[in-house]
Structure 1
């Protein structure tokens, strides 16, 4: 049942009837700024709270995110300063226009509290993703950096420092698998930094300065710079690889370096890049996102990516987003382009050498049925980018496994439990998934040509932009699945196929 949630942090019983305008318990207004009603709390901390809300002035009462911020000011002068700073910073955020950053829809002050209204993004944050699906491998971390750095570059071009980059503040949007950067510390930290200077408070006793473990020394001292976000991004990589917050690792007393390398299986090149992101001294750290993006194109990265493509290309090859290409092209000089062309020949020779190197063996795993099932039994869930062609995984217990961009041609998944499995961008052509449990499975942009889903449970599965040419859905349950009529016309169906609306009206397609 939808409720009306009181946003007063001191309210003892915040849940109210959805039609009320005043809280039954404390008497606070339930309608914020004459248009927004909170309906569920998402989380809270020392500086405020976050709610799911509805906009009552728009037809259909669309959902939104309500962020409540409470300035750390005790007197009228401090509060007035905070309000002025809040409005200035909120206006800055309001100018941000990027498809992977939630839009700021509104902002206002009410009862000595500040509110930001943002669009709601449906997705899971990376902290939760790692906890439920396991840590990232090297290719997954590289793809993460390829996806997130252009967002950060845009943000810095708008003269905005995020100030709170961490796994919990990066969502993987459900509809398209793209990363979305949320929950800016820019407003709350900028307001509190200025208040600290104005009111004489010490940085570490009263004011929010980001998240421990991800915030670099200069940010803890309330002097954040653009590379502070790069440090936090490096800490995020450490979490994705190890499943542990950077604050839980020891520090080398002589160098100040984070000792996170033990028991991780990634190349020396990627380790070197992350270490430079995490440099305590700003002079040793990447100063700009451009520098970081350039480092991510060093030969060992390019070789690994070229090897993946040179085997047998999947239907969704690894490419940069269009705005990434424009950014790189716009900053490339003629000499850089010349160096890139001359490096191509060297790259081809290096690829041949690397194929027999120890580092290559660590990143390119030769999977067999036994090694795959052993990995699953040991808790591994993420098999992104792997070559699993032709494996017999019949009756496997593989629910929630991740097969993003996998080569799965001809694999046998018959009668397997693959509920909530993620096949985004994978190649499942000619695969056997008959009688498998694939409820809530994700097949967006997946190649399913000639795949066999006979008798499979595909309830609530997502086939957005999937290729289902000649796919066998005879006897399959597609109830509530996201698949359109045009797609179904290219697939095989029969009188026993259950369609998304729950019917068996197969003759409509002839």
Structure 2
């Protein structure tokens, strides 16, 4: 649905059988059916035009809420003809349930909020938030082609929403492209139309016609038996992905082959898919419910097993074309900034959905350009307090010294010992130790039963700590390469570790939504921090050991008081997953990376944003500050490593690359060596000369 102000001069007839309900504003009676026109429903909502017809039960209208400065909204009307029949009662029940579901679920930013629910003139009306954008069916018609990464990004955006509704006892029962809208403002996907949803505990009446859903998208248990489960929604999600990938409607195949098409769905593909995505979609589309995913969590885990930071690459040419010049500040700042953003929106709107990614990057770049100049006059004191000296590094002083074969599979994490002599790397089931000077493998540590996601070395260089998909944290003696202890406290994959500068405290974050604080001396759990509503993927301890930063799949960055174990600040919600956080050596700056391809630098004292670093064309997966705090290194799914001047926020041009996603970065203690690991199974050692 797209908002068009030209409809403001119109008023719509509310007779659901009216063949031509559009009327000029000011008419008292409908020009087509002579029904009296209603200027305002409930003295508040102005109905403008029909969005869809519900086949005799009512219509859905685009409307305006005059109590909110004519803000657009959507009004659903229920006006059943068959009074007293079972069909009418069922329709009213579903309508009331939809209102209740929206009231319960509307707190989620990707579900429309309920504005009002009332009866007027023998009809029921449900008013909900208007989502400005196109549904995925219309997007498919305009775009024609979806790639592997497009579908993975869609799944990672929608599966947490589906998990949210399932956790609250609701199943949608009608997931399909028409019921998924991509918001024009930020590109996030919104799940709409909860008219078919029901409580998991409710029984569906076994009557002819009680099945609810869309043939082809709905699984056999829902169509045949009228029963629906969380895995039923996941079948519908798989059918939606199939439709986007092939351009073929599952309804068409269902009419021709029944459910036989799900066993041969790959035969219809127009482009190759990764093995991981094939596996996920195939499990979505299992005809037998017991063979399907039973929860959204299971699907997310499989989808991110090898690709934790999925997001499609974007064309960077538009961003490069934006001149980085100082612009007039003062009273005209907001007006100029908004004019550029609006003009950019209109320009890319004309290009259709294909221009969305470019629009998003353009808007971020323009906003950043204005904000940088504006902040230079309004927050100079804030920046000067944390930014001291600019980096002197240049592109010709960055050299690749060695490439190590790494692991048989992806190198997921790397770290360097404080004395700069040893590299530790984590990957598939094992940890490898390397001599940094020679590049020779020293030892292989085995003990984890699944992928090692993170490795860290204590400041005294004597102990290595590792976290894994097996939910375990293991502590190793670096001198004799022996396992010392296993910490079994987490209930799901451990993805991030941080050790305090005094070596006494270990902090771990995991997919069980928790952060745990451990005493490394006695290896006991000190406390468990809860506050994130989804996977915790990065933690960092400030140099003074007083503050903990965390980021995760709930899109939030949080600061915690280490002594009290309490949350002390939550930064404004990020538009995408926060993949990494890191403190500068002096503790004054916090860097965060995200799936939105941006890196943000924050003033820890004031919580103000210092810089937005733009340049990566895919998810930022890792960041690391140089020991002197002048340089920030970042890695991405775009296969590149970028170096940034922390003081100016400008990129230091280099040609540092991997053959696949850059997963981890670590500086040596003297700041002259940078080590990187990647999904190309390699470890690279870079020398930085000033």
| TM-score category (smaller protein) | 0.5 to 0.7
Distance 2:207 2:122 in 1: 20
Aligned residues: 326
Aligned to 2:216, which of 213, 217, 227? 213
**1:133 — aligned with what?**
143
Structure number with higher helix proportion: 1
Distance 1:235 1:59 in 2: 38
Distance 1:130 1:120 in 2: 21
Distance 2:212 2:90 in 1: 18
**2:17 — aligned with what?**
10
**1:288 — aligned with what?**
295
Aligned to 2:233, which of 223, 229, 232? 229
Q: 1:59/1:258 Cα in 2 relative to 1: closer, same or farther (>3 Å)?
A: same
Aligned to 1:202, which of 185, 202, 208? 208
Distance 1:235 1:40 in 2: 31
Find the structure with the greater CA-based Rg.
Answer: 2
Matches within 5 A, 1:382-397: none
Distance 2:284 2:247 in 1: 18
Q: 1:15/1:110 Cα in 2 relative to 1: closer, same or farther (>3 Å)?
A: same
**1:38 — aligned with what?**
47
Which residues of structure 2 form unaligned runs of 5+?
A: 1-5, 314-319, 321-360, 365-468, 473-487, 498-594, 599-611, 617-648, 651-690
Aligned to 1:259, which of 264, 270, 293? 264
**2:586 — aligned with what?**
none
**2:460 — aligned with what?**
none
**Structure 1 residue 264, shift from structure 2 partner:** 3.4
Aligned to 1:26, which of 19, 34, 42? 34
Contact preservation (8 Å) 1:4, 1:37: yes
Contact preservation (8 Å) 1:160, 1:186: no
SS of 2:248's partner is coil
Q: 1:29/1:448 Cα in 2 relative to 1: closer, same or farther (>3 Å)?
A: same
Distance 1:10 1:307 in 2: 45
Q: 1:289/1:176 Cα in 2 relative to 1: closer, same or farther (>3 Å)?
A: same
Which residues of structure 1 form unaligned runs of 5+?
A: 309-313, 317-328, 343-423, 428-444, 450-468, 471-510
1:171-229 per-position Cα deviation (integer Å, ceiling 9, x unaligned): 11111111111122336x78xx98x83xx8512xxx57222211112221321222211
Contact preservation (8 Å) 1:257, 1:279: yes
1:182 aligns with 2:196: no
Contact preservation (8 Å) 2:172, 2:196: yes
Structure number with higher strand proportion: 2
SS of 1:149's partner is helix
**Structure 1 residue 274, shift from structure 2 partner:** 0.5
Contact preservation (8 Å) 1:125, 1:168: yes
Distance 1:19 1:165 in 2: 39
TM-score, L = length of structure 1: 0.55
Contact preservation (8 Å) 1:163, 1:210: yes
TM-score, L = length of structure 2: 0.41
Q: 1:426/1:76 Cα in 2 relative to 1: closer, same or farther (>3 Å)?
A: closer
Contact preservation (8 Å) 2:49, 2:63: yes
**Structure 1 residue 5, shift from structure 2 partner:** 0.5
Q: 1:249/1:59 Cα in 2 relative to 1: closer, same or farther (>3 Å)?
A: closer
SS of 2:301's partner is helix
Question: What is the alpha-carbon root mean square deviation over aligned residues?
Answer: 4.2
Distance 2:298 2:597 in 1: 32
1:135-179 per-position Cα deviation (integer Å, ceiling 9, x unaligned): 211111111111111111111122221121111111111111111
Aligned to 2:111, which of 95, 101, 108? 101
**2:286 — aligned with what?**
279
SS of 1:105's partner is strand
Matches within 5 A, 1:41-440: 41-46=50-55, 47-56=57-66, 58-71=67-80, 73-75=82-84, 79=88, 83=92, 86-96=95-105, 97-186=107-196, 197=205, 201-203=207-209, 209-221=212-224, 222-249=226-253, 257-262=262-267, 263-299=270-306, 301=307, 334=489
